[in-house]
């Protein structure tokens, strides 16, 4: 196998070709099998991952760190901007130029759009975007594609509804590009103030994707094979008052699922606040915790690939 990601940064969803995504999926599936069988992988022995997280995170940071340990590597970490020199006013570039002397690969999460690109420009080692403000979250999109493929058998011809805060949600910004690449039909379900940015919709259409806007959640759910629910991104609002106007605008409950397309799969990048009722957790199509767990093999694959160890 020729490793298509060796030495590369992972910054956006659009940087990926179909072939590259499929290779990540294949490597991840093999690694998932190995972990299931209780095998200890050691392909990243001697390598160090630095996680630099300047925004809250549970899944992304822990699954990257667990992934590194599962492939035999080691981890160093700045758990919050407040405990690093960022609090003293250090630039991203200076932090990264320092950290690359200690590690072989960096995962960065930062509130500023373009921060991961800035880090990648400053570093000679691979930089992975773990979320740059309201920009992108490409590794989440990869694990989402992995999840949809596992749950539904593939993406082509599927209708996937992205619901909630499509304006500020970086996970849907990234995922929509990959859905377009694989020929899924995209339904956008959001209130006017949280609509998907025009430049993204234009880009999706330019790539030949079929994009429909259906602001009514029940109606969108009736047409969709997958419902990808997102949290209203409270931290991106100018004021509490603006947030309260749209908070709780969509709540997915069993009543809605009973009227939705049969067998609908419910996804969510998590954390959820109030947008999926807890009663949905026992519905067999509720895939969000399986989705979170898929972050492990996908990130094992990504780290191993960019470090040239597969
Ligand atoms: C998301 C994020 O940080 O963008 N979480 C995640 O990485 N799984 C979604 C969110 O915070 O709503």
Q: What is the pLDDT of residue 89?
A: 82
- Whether 111 and 86 have beta carbons less than 8 Å apart is answered as no
Give the closest residue to 175 by CA, choosing from 199, 142, 204, 200: 142
84 band by pLDDT with thresholds 50, 70 and 90: confident
Return mean pLDDT, the chain. 96
Q: Is 170 in the pocket of ligand 1 (CB under 6 A)?
A: yes
Encode pLDDT of 194-241 as tens digits: 999 999 999 999 999 999 999 999 999 999 999 999 999 999 999 999
In the sheet that 74-78 helps form, which strands lie side by side, from edge to edge? 74-78, 48-53, 105-110, 127-132
Q: Active-site positions?
A: 59-60, 88, 109, 137
93-138: per-residue pLDDT in tens? 999 999 999 999 999 999 999 999 999 999 999 999 999 999 999 9
Half-sphere exposure in the Cβ direction for 92 (13 Å, CA): 24
Report H helices in 153-287. 170-181, 198-206, 217-223, 240-246, 254-259
Q: How far is the CA of 1 from the centre of ligand 1 (A)?
A: 32
Is the CB–ligand 1 distance for residue 299 below 6 Å? no
Query: With 80 as the cut, is the pLDDT of residue 305 above it?
Result: yes
Domains 18-136+294-306 and 138-292 share a fold: yes
CATH topology for 138-292? Rossmann fold (3.40.50)
Ligand 1 atom nearest to 56, measured from its CA: 3
In the three-class reduction of DSSP (H, G, I as helix; E, B as strand; rest coil), residue 187 is classed as: strand
Q: What angle do CA 114, 116, 120 make, to 5 degrees?
A: 115
Burial class (CB in 10 A: 0-12, 13-18, 19+), 114: middle
pLDDT for the residue numbered 85: 78
pLDDT the model gives residue 294: 98
Atom number of ligand 1 nearest to Cα 55? 3
Q: Domain residue spans in the chain? A: 18-136+294-306, 138-292
pLDDT at 87 over 80: no
Nearest ligand 1 atom to the CA of 231 is 12
The predicted pLDDT at position 181 comes to 97
| pLDDT band per the 50, 70, 90 thresholds, residue 83 | low
CATH number of 18-136+294-306: 3.40.50.1370
State the DSSP H helix or E strand holding residue 107, giving kind and residue range, or none if neither. Answer: strand 105-110
Q: How confident is the model at residue 82 (pLDDT cuts 50, 70, 90)?
A: low
């Amino acid at each position: 196998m020729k490793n298509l990601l060796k030495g590369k940064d992972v910054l956006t969803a659009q940087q990926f070709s179909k072939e590259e995504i499929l290779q990540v999926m294949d490597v991840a599936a093999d690694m998932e099998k190995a972990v299931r069988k209780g095998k200890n992988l050691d392909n990243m022995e001697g390598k160090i991952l630095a996680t630099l997280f300047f925004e809250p995170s549970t899944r992304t940071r822990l699954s990257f760190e667990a992934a590194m340990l599962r492939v035999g590597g080691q981890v160093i970490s700045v758990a919050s901007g407040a405990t690093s020199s960022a609090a003293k006013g250090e630039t991203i570039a200076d932090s990264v130029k320092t950290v690359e002397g200690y590690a072989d690969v960096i995962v960065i999460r930062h509130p500023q759009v373009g921060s991961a690109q800035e880090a990648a420009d400053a570093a000679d080692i691979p930089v992975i975007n773990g979320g740059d403000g309201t920009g992108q979250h490409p590794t989440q999109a990869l694990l989402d594609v992995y999840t949809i493929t596992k749950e539904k058998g593939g993406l082509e011809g599927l209708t996937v509804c992205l619901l909630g805060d499509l304006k500020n949600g970086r996970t849907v910004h990234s995922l929509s590009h990959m859905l377009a690449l694989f020929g899924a039909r995209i339904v956008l379900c959001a209130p006017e103030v949280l609509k998907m940015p025009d430049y993204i919709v234009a880009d999706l259409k330019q790539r030949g994707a079929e994009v429909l806007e259906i602001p009514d959640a029940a109606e969108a759910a009736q047409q969709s094979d997958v419902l990808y629910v997102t949290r209203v991104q409270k931290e991106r609002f100018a004021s509490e008052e603006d947030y309260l106007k749209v908070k709780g605008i969509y709540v997915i409950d069993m009543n809605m699922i009973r009227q939705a397309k049969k067998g609908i799969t419910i996804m969510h990048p998590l954390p959820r606040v109030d947008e999926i009722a807890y009663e949905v957790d026992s519905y067999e199509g509720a895939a969000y915790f399986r989705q979170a767990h898929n972050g492990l093999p996908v990130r094992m694959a990504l780290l191993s690939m960019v470090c040239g160890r597969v």
